[in-house]
A and B are shown apart, each in its own frame.
Chain A
Amino acid sequence: MSRVTIPIGPQHPLLKEPMSFNITLEGENVIDSALRLGYVHRGIEKLAETRSFIQNITLFERVCGICSHIHTTTYCQAVEGLLELEVPRRAVYIRMLLCELERIHSHLLWMGVLAKNIGLNTVFMYSWRDREIVLDLMEEISGGRVSHAINTIGGVRKDLKEGQVQKLSEGLSVLSERVDELLRIVDNDRSFKARTQGIGFLSEEDVRRYCVVGPVARASGVDVDLRKNVPYACYDELSFKVVSMTEGDVWARSMVRIHETSEAIRLCEQIIEKLPEGEIAATAKRKVPAGEFISRSEAPRGEVVYFVKSDGSQTPARVKVRTPTLTALITLPRQLSGLQMADVSAVVAGVDLCIACADR
């Protein structure tokens, strides 16, 4: 049988962001695939060296539009580590609240994209409609739907008011019912299962060798979640389950993400209940002392690492960002080999790519 190479190019209805993907087929089966990144490479790490520590918060918020808050949280944690600054507990709780709301919105977004890619348009509409509830709640707290600008070095810029807490509780209880409905679809719907089970398989050994993180790793039996293993912020004061499965296919990843969304809703309810009184920001010194600091956190897609180096001047000497999508991209050729062309869209969506994060 002759071989055909299909370019899934930078502009394609399957991809929300530009990435070049060449798939070589023999008949209907994928035998090889090649990635080309770099379409969204903006040179952010170099830009960060020319801007002050505070200006960089705005810059790092725009590494990715979907997980913007976790990037600034991790960056601020690194700079606060260099300053040896203790952030007030109320500020940490507000940061965690937004992190969990962001996790909910990111997973609902992913659910819609996966459903659209496999042809279940109604689920796309339902999950993005429910996502609007989360965006309204985030706008209520921070003033922005997608980029929040709430983090500062030493804490947060805006406080939670009484009326907002009431709205949060109401919104979360509506979300809880809707997410249970989505879980029912993923767990029971025959067409969803037929399109997602048994494809894109990664074994536990693969996850180890490719250093995969996030829900993709947890769906293959690697039970690591930085909120539990390296409790940053105040996650050790809250109780939640880390969800993992062993099937390792696109369906297992879907189950892990939906369960994580339910856990995130429960976490938000605990945060509101236990919100401590106090200041919302500590005063930071103007000069960041020389040193290096690594900060890690659990974004919706996995481990985010920020390495910040200061040489005592106004601007950082080096900021290195490692985002989780890069680990998933390395495994794509392995996941796709041997599959049929019709399954490519489900696998690519099941990995939950965020190319803007990967390219920086």
Chain B
Amino acid sequence: MINKIIQWARRKSPWILHFNSGGCNGCDIELLSLLTPKMDVERLGIMKESSPRHADILVCTGPVTAQTEARLKRIYEQMPAPKWVIAAGSCSCTGGVFSGAYNIHDGIDNVIPVDVYIPGCPCRPEAIVDGVVKLLEKVK
């Protein structure tokens, strides 16, 4: 019974942690516009958190640069299970337009396991919401 309530709460109110692992900022500002009055995802239960310990979902933007790789791993490890990862934007899926640069490990799935990939350069806010919804259906 308790498990059912917890499962329901997880689906109804996923808390997001946003980490920019070296991106141009385009996907980040589209992610931030989700909080603003036009899209307003807080009414859907999605809240943007500051600490890895509070978050259910890690939304990662940007390709992984050599300097952020260790931080990304550490943040992922600091998040309590169950946890999921969304790769938002073409750069975090495959390296995007920066693929082949000397300082980039293409895509975050080289570093941590990813559950949902959201393409786009930058990915639109509607696409991010769609990605979160698809993830929540997968969680069921």
Contacts and interface: CB of A to CB of B under 8 A. Distances in A.
Contacts of A124: 36
Given A17-B25, A128-B33, A129-B37, 14 more contacts: A11-B71, A39-B67, A42-B63, A42-B103, A43-B102, A43-B103, A44-B98, A64-B24, A65-B27, A109-B29, A112-B36, A131-B36, A132-B38, A147-B121
| Size class of the A contact interface (CB-based, 8 Å) | 35 or more
Nearest to A355: B25
B14 interface: no
Interface residues of B, number: 38
A147 B122 contact: yes
By CB atoms of chain B within 10 A, which of A10, A11, A18 has the most?
A11
Q: Is the interface of A mostly helix, strand, loop or mixed?
A: loop
B28 to A, nearest CB: 6
Contacts of A18: 19-22, 67-68, 71
Interface string A60-90: 0011111010000000000000000000000
A146 interface: yes
B109 interface: no
A250 to B, nearest CB: 21
Contact of B101 (A38, A44, A128, A129): A44
A105 B98 CA distance: 25
B36 A11 contact: no
A184 interface: no
5 contacts: A18-B67, A44-B101, A62-B24, A68-B26, A128-B35
Nearest to B91: A62
B94 interface: no
Contacts of B71: 9-11, 18, 39
By CB atoms of chain A within 10 A, which of B36, B68, B98 has the most?
B36
Contacts of B27: 65
Contacts of B24: 62-65, 68, 356
A43 B104 contact: yes
A47 interface: yes
